[in-house]
């Protein structure tokens, strides 16, 4: 499959991507209700990032999930993974994605902090095999508390793995509290630059900025690994979830469920302090 073939199955407008992001949020509500709990806010913060990757950028063939030339995607923050039989007895779809049971999953995530190392290994393997695919790794900012992430970041810079693109969902919250209260991860740009990375910082809910950043990262000739710091809002799209620690995992019921669904269907509104 060629790049031109891929463009025929990708949405051609930001409006279509916005509708897919809305669908991701609505499905998160629906499937979490079936399961009795779900990771709402960390899925909502990454919705625009995920749909832009899958529907407008990744070189993949859904009919051929093991295509050798495909781009690889590592969902290091593995909790935003939901499908219809999610967590049901006998289902392949557990709380986190499983590469041995689900075609198209490149890495079984769950224990956080491992994804960047795996993605680096894929980049080095692609170099040895002389393949031109890119590897995209989506990390949560809370993962940056893990020492293994920084070992991988240092090694990626040392080996000049230009095919590696890391994206940090910088929503500033993790299950234990504010990320920088627990262990400061800023200045993030300067830290990665010091390890030899090329860094962009964007609004992680702005589909145009996401698309431009991914295109720039994929076309770089710098010979350096790429980092996209995506500033996001945990719980984005539902006002009582935004900036809240209470909905990292939970179960919406009754009026709360109806209110969340209504807000998502109305569409994203500018958050407080943002035009």
| pLDDT tens per residue across span 132-151 | 999 999 999 999 999 999 99
User: Distance (Å, rounded) from C-alpha 83 to C-alpha 32?
Assistant: 10
Pick the more confident residue, 156 or 249.
156
Query: 174: which strand partners?
Result: 177
Confidence of residue 53 (pLDDT cuts 50, 70, 90): very high
| pLDDT tens per residue across span 208-260 | 999 999 999 999 888 999 999 999 999 999 999 999 999 988 899 999 999 99
Pick the more confident residue, 87 or 226.
226
Q: Say what the pLDDT of residue 267 is.
A: 86
Which range is least confidently modeled, 16-25, 69-78, 84-93? 84-93
Q: What is the mean pLDDT of residues 118-134?
A: 96
Q: What is the mean pLDDT of residues 98-120?
A: 78
Does residue 106 have a pLDDT over 90? no
Q: Say what the pLDDT of residue 35 is.
A: 80
Does residue 96 have a pLDDT over 80? no
Tell me how far CA of residue 269 lies from CA of 221, 263, 265, in angstroms. Answer: 37, 9, 11
Query: 74: which strand partners?
Result: 137
Q: What is the mean pLDDT of residues 176-201?
A: 97
Mean pLDDT of the chain: 87
Q: What is the mean pLDDT of residues 182-205?
A: 97
| pLDDT tens per residue across span 60-69 | 998 999 999 9
Does residue 120 have a pLDDT over 50? yes
The closest alpha carbon to 120, from 228, 256, 225, 44, belongs to 225
Task: Check: CB of residue 171 under 8 Å from CB of residue 141.
Answer: yes
Q: Say what the pLDDT of residue 85 is.
A: 45
Q: What is the mean pLDDT of residues 2-23?
A: 70
User: Distance (Å, rounded) from C-alpha 24 to C-alpha 32?
Assistant: 12
Q: Is 275 exposed, middle or buried (0-12, 13-18, 19+ CB in 10 A)?
A: exposed
CATH dotted code for 3-266:
3.40.50.970
Does residue 171 have a pLDDT over 80? yes
Q: Say what the pLDDT of residue 222 is.
A: 87
Which range is least confidently modeled, 12-21, 109-118, 139-148? 109-118
| SS3 sequence of 158-188 | HHCCCCEEEEEEECCEECCEEHHHHCCCCCH
Phi, psi for residue 137 in degrees, rounded to 5:
-125, 115
Q: Say what the pLDDT of residue 2 is.
A: 38
Task: Check: CB of residue 76 under 8 Å from CB of residue 153.
Answer: no
Q: Say what the pLDDT of residue 81 is.
A: 57
User: Distance (Å, rounded) from C-alpha 136 to C-alpha 219?
Assistant: 14
CA atoms within 13 A on the CB side of 236: 29
DSSP per position, 193-245: HHTT-EEEEEETT-HHHHHHHHHHHHT--SSS-EEEEEE--TTTTSTTTTT-S
Which range is least confidently modeled, 48-57, 110-119, 174-183, 198-207? 110-119
The Cβ of residue 30 has, within 10 Å, a number of other Cβ atoms equal to 15
Residue 38 DSSP symbol? B
């Amino acid at each position: 499959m060629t790049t031109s073939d891929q463009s025929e199955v990708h949405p051609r407008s930001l409006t279509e991507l916005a509708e897919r992001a809305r669908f991701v949020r609505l499905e998160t509500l629906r499937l979490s209700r079936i399961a009795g709990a779900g990771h709402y806010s960390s899925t909502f913060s990454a919705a625009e990032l995920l749909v832009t990757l899958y529907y407008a950028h990744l070189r993949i063939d859904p009919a051929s999930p093991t295509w050798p030339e495909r781009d690889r995607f590592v969902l290091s923050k593995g909790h935003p993974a939901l499908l219809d039989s999610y967590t049901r007895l006998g289902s392949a779809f557990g709380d986190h994605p499983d590469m041995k049971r689900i075609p198209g999953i490149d890495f079984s995530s769950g224990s956080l902090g491992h994804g960047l190392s795996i993605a680096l290994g894929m980049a080095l393997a692609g170099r040895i095999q002389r393949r031109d695919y890119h590897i995209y790794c989506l990390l949560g900012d809370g993962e940056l508390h893990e020492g293994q992430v920084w070992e991988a970041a240092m090694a990626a810079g040392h080996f000049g793995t230009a095919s590696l693109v890391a994206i940090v969902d910088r929503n500033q919250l993790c299950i234990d509290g504010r990320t920088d209260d627990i262990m400061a991860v800023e200045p993030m740009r300067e830290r990665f630059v010091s390890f030899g990375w090329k860094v962009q910082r964007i609004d992680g809910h702005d589909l145009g900025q996401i698309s431009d950043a991914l295109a720039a990262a994929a076309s770089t000739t710098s010979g350096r690994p790429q980092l996209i710091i995506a500033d996001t809002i945990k719980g984005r799209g539902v006002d009582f979830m935004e900036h809240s620690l209470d909905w990292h995992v939970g179960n919406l019921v009754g009026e709360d469920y109806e209110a969340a669904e209504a807000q998502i269907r109305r569409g994203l509104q500018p958050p407080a302090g943002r035009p």
